[in-house]
Amino acid sequence: MTEAAANVQPIASTETAVPKPDTPGRLEISREHGLRLLHEMLRIRRFEEKCAELYSAGKIRGFLHLYIGEEAVAVGAMQALGREDAVVATYREHGHALARGVAVDRLMAEMYGKHQGCSRGRGGSMHVFDAQARFYGGNAIVGGGLPIAVGLALADKMQQRPRVTACFFGDGAVAEGEFHESLNLASLWKLPVLFLCENNLYAMGTRLERAQSQTDLAAKARSYLMPAEPVDGMDVLAVEAATKRAADAVRRGEGPAFLEFRTYRFRAHSMFDAELYRDKSEVEIWKQRDPITTFTSQLKERGMATDGILYALNMSVADEIDVAVQFAEAGTWEPVDDLLKDVYTPAEGRPSGSYGAA
């Protein structure tokens, strides 16, 4: 390891060089809730493993950014949100979409570019949208989603709706001007935004300390006078607990909050990445903290899961993914005649013009 070793550490193990599991049983959860969290994480993991396979088979094209390793963040954070809340995500957003409740079959169809996809095939992997889930994308411009989240929160505040807008972004976005503009404005106007930074240590291939003068990202947020804390992003329960605390405060009208989830992606940045920028050993160290295996162990230790239950869980997820692939395969291509659709709202969607123009 290099001089960077200190920063590799997940938050829960600052005292040692090698990350190790957090003490189990910190959060009291029901068996049902525990299994649900595991199920959510497994769905994301299996969905993306299937995507990687389908990508190699040429079924999925374009850019494909996998979330594998970071599942605890999306699954834990979504526990704090209600149906009325909004989510703005990044281009690595399959996990957020699934955890938020976007239908897995429609998501897979979107990966294919089929007409039955959740964005009618127009967006693909990086542009998942779902009005029902109040899921406002899939934004492939780093930092581009933050101002939109600020605006969604502004609309809620102006209409006195006790909602939260959760905005996911990575450590790379922290270097963008829009990060600072958005945190400043949200804090200035006390807007109900939950800024959720997924610090996986790399902006594509650029490690955090090679891009940031201040690597304590929560410190940046605090400078805009909002509560901010680092969280162990490999621990689903820690993520859930921290996000609930923050979301409650935001919902109470205390203004925005910031959480830095320290996490790690196990796969390459995208499908075409030789990973020249990091050692395999570093990846192996982080894999010891795989959020799914560690949480599975916790559940077993607490007697909440047995091998039989885990087998059944895995089987049901595998079936669900298979069905989703069949749905995507059976999907149809949008007719080329419809190419120009949805650039503008069609006439029938427009209000009747009170100006009375022809």
Partner 1 sequence: MGTTTYREAVRTALTEALVKDPRVFLMGEDVGKYGGSYAVSKGLLAEFGPERIRDTPLSESTFVGAGIGAALGGMRPIVEVMTVNFSLLALDQIVNNAATIRHMSGGQFSIPLVIRMATGAGRQLAAQHAHSLEGWYAHIPGIRIVAPATLEDARGMLWTALEDPDPVLIFEHQTLYNMEGPLADEAGAVDIDHAAIRRPGKDLSLITYGGTLGKTLQAAETLASEGIDAEVIDLRTLRPLDMATILDSVKKTHRAVIVDEGWKSGSLSAEIVARLVEHAFYELDAPLARVCSAEVPIPYPKHLEDAALPQPPAIVAAAREVVGRRG
**227 part of the interface to partner 1, by CB under 8 A:** no
State the minimum distance, in angstroms, from the CB of residue 328 to partner 1. Answer: 15
As a whole number of angstroms, the distance between CA 219 and CA 289 comes to: 25
Binding to partner 1 by CB under 8 A, coded x per residue (else -) over 106-135, reads -----------xxxxxxx---x-xxx----
State the minimum distance, in angstroms, from the CB of residue 113 to partner 1. Answer: 11
Residue number, 123 or 233, with CB nearest to partner 1: 123
Lay out the sheet containing 193-199: strands in order across: 135-139, 86-90, 165-170, 193-199, 257-262, 228-232
Are the C-beta atoms of residues 30 and 303 closer than 8 Å to each other?
A: no
State the minimum distance, in angstroms, from the CB of residue 197 to partner 1. Answer: 17
Burial class (CB in 10 A: 0-12, 13-18, 19+), 51: buried
Residue number, 8 or 108, with CB nearest to partner 1: 108
With residue 165 as reference, give the H or E element that holds it. Answer: strand 165-170
As a whole number of angstroms, the distance between CA 194 and CA 204 comes to: 24
Binding to partner 1 by CB under 8 A, coded x per residue (else -) over 29-68, reads ----------------------------------------
Residue number, 144 or 205, with CB nearest to partner 1: 144
Per CB under 8 A, the list member of 22, 40, 178, 260 interacting with partner 1 is 178
Task: Tell me the window of 62-70, 77-85, 176-184, 218-226 that interacts with partner 1 (CB under 8 A).
Answer: 176-184
Helix H segments across the chain? Answer: 5-8, 31-56, 71-78, 94-100, 104-112, 145-158, 177-188, 208-211, 217-222, 236-251, 280-287, 291-301, 307-330
Nearest alpha carbon to residue 98 among 338, 306, 321, 297? 321
Residue 108's Cα: distance from chain center in Å?
Answer: 17
Are the C-beta atoms of residues 141 and 184 closer than 8 Å to each other?
A: no
**280 part of the interface to partner 1, by CB under 8 A:** no
State the minimum distance, in angstroms, from the CB of residue 83 to partner 1. Answer: 15
State the minimum distance, in angstroms, from the CB of residue 349 to partner 1. Answer: 6
Per CB under 8 A, the list member of 153, 166, 174, 325 interacting with partner 1 is 153
**201 part of the interface to partner 1, by CB under 8 A:** no
Binding to partner 1 by CB under 8 A, coded x per residue (else -) over 299-338, reads ----------------------------------------
State the minimum distance, in angstroms, from the CB of residue 100 to partner 1. Answer: 14
State the minimum distance, in angstroms, from the CB of residue 170 to partner 1. Answer: 17
**170 part of the interface to partner 1, by CB under 8 A:** no
Are the C-beta atoms of residues 179 and 143 closer than 8 Å to each other?
A: yes
As a whole number of angstroms, the distance between CA 103 and CA 101 comes to: 6
- N- to C-terminal Cα separation, the chain: 70
Q: Which residues bind partner 1 (CB under 8 A)?
A: 86, 88, 117-123, 127, 129-131, 136-139, 141, 144, 146-156, 158-159, 165, 177-178, 181-182, 184-185, 188-189, 341-345, 349-351, 353-355, 357-358
